[in-house]
Amino acid sequence: MTDTARPDSAGALLTCASEAQGLLRLELADAWPELAAPQWLADGLALVPLPGGFEPFAAEVKRVAPIFLRHLAPVQTVQPVTPFRGVTGALKRGLEALEDLAPSDTALAVQIRHVVERDGSACVERMTALEREFAPAAAEVTHCLIETAYPERIVSALIVGDRLLMGISDAAANISTWPGGERRFQEVDGQISRAEFKLLEALEAFGVALPASGVALDMGAAPGGWTRVLLEKGLSVVAVDPAKLHPSLVRHERVTHVRARIEERLSGAAPADVIVNDMRIDPRQSTAIMLQASSLLPPGGPAVMTLKLPDGGVTDRALLATVRAGLKRLEPAYLVLGARRLFHNRSEVTVALVAGGDRAPVGE
């Protein structure tokens, strides 16, 4: 239930998938029992007061890496928004209040979102037109270069009712440089499925370094979105799935379709330089397969998998325990680079791994 009370305190804005609110609340309570309960301003957007300030909290978030937290933004000033003085005036006053926090000449992004009512519930939306309109004023007040794609610092602004919540942080503190962590990709010609965005987002979010050539083992490959992404990255792909691949992949010279369940083909399988796994199966089974497959990778060989979450009938506490147990089970064979419910995930968590196996890395 959305709390529409006015946010008055300084703190942080936390974003998660709307169905992950309970899971994020549990993760916050586990890691920081002293933290006040999040105040939900909209679906998947909460404000938490931070008496100790934003930066120490952001450093802690980096250490703990909550799985269901998608984006973090500071609130360091709250400005009234009146019909008379308007949003632009409030944004300017906010920036002036934060001026000390924006060293001149840094590459600065200004991200503006607002809470709106849609079909009886509060949602948060990006205001790209206002971001563009406000950019010259932001450059003038801060003496910074406005840079949307690769900012060093980010001004985050949220309009909620008659208040503007605003803060500045290092881009790295926000978890994602995309407003609210909503990483958008352009659809491209030849794209097979929207699942491609899931892999692209994972590679970027976890900084996964794929080799420029070699073999990727794609477990649960059909219809072939991830396979297509891996081909684009220069890899050959062994695509294992009992289901059909997209016609564009069927006769591709760098694709071998093994039309079977992976369990039937793992023993004696050829080595791989990369493993990906998007199989819609139980997380325990999926991690067991990943453990077995780890010996196919060289030490340091990357792997990306999705841990599928049960749809309903399970408490958030049990669900969180399932994910944590899954990650723990992977530890004997892999270093877990990160595990998060990313923007393009649905009922799943993406996990990025690096193998600790005993095969020599590609090119050695």
Contact set with ligand SAM (CB under 6 A): 193, 195, 219-226, 240-243, 261-263, 278-281
Q: Which is nearer to ligand SAM, 76 or 286 (CB)?
A: 286
Edge-to-edge strand order for the sheet containing 39-42?
A: 39-42, 45-49, 11-15, 71-75
- In the complex, what is the shortest distance from the CB of residue 119 to ligand SAM, in angstroms, rounded to a whole number? 29
Residue 258: CB minimum distance to ligand SAM, A: 9
Nearer to ligand SAM, 139 or 288 (CB): 288
Query: Closest separation between CB of residue 61 and ligand SAM, Å?
Result: 29
The answer to whether 210 and 220 are in contact (CB under 8 A) is no
271 by Cβ neighbours in 10 Å (0-12 / 13-18 / 19+) ranks as middle
In the complex, minimum distance from the CB of residue 249 to ligand SAM, in angstroms, rounded to a whole number: 10
Q: What tokens were used for 111?
A: 């991200």
Identify which of residues 110 and 240 has a Cβ nearer to ligand SAM in the complex.
Answer: 240
Minimum distance, C-beta of residue 264 to ligand SAM, in the bound complex (Å):
8
Pick between residue 113 and residue 308 the one whose CB is nearest to ligand SAM.
308
d(CA 12, CA 222): 40
Question: Which residue, 67 or 222, has its beta carbon nearer to ligand SAM?
Answer: 222
Instruction: Report, in Å, the least distance between residue 311 CB and ligand SAM.
Output: 14
β-pairing, 236-240 vs 255-258, is parallel
Would you state the structure tokens that stand for residue 57, as one six-digit string?
């909290």
Identity of the residue, 9 or 191, whose beta carbon is nearer to ligand SAM in the bound complex: 191
**What would the two tokens of residue 14 be?**
């936390």
The two structure tokens encoding residue 356: 């600790």
Q: In Å, how far are 25, 163, 177, 205 from 102, measured between CA atoms? A: 31, 22, 16, 25
Q: Residue 312 carries which side chain, given as an amino acid letter?
A: G
Is residue 351 classed as helix, strand or coil in its secondary structure? Answer: strand
C-alpha dihedral over 91, 92, 97, 99, to 10 degrees? 110
Q: How far is the CB of 312 from ligand SAM (least distance, A)?
A: 18
Secondary structure letter of residue 66 according to DSSP: -
What does residue 184 show for φ and ψ, rounded to 5 degrees?
A: -105, 140
Judge contact between 47 and 72, C-beta under 8 A: no
CB of 203 to ligand SAM, least distance (A): 13
User: Smaller CB distance to ligand SAM: residue 175 or 239?
Assistant: 239
User: Cβ(326)–Cβ(256) under 8 Å?
Assistant: no
Of 79 and 306, which CB lies nearer to ligand SAM in the complex structure?
306
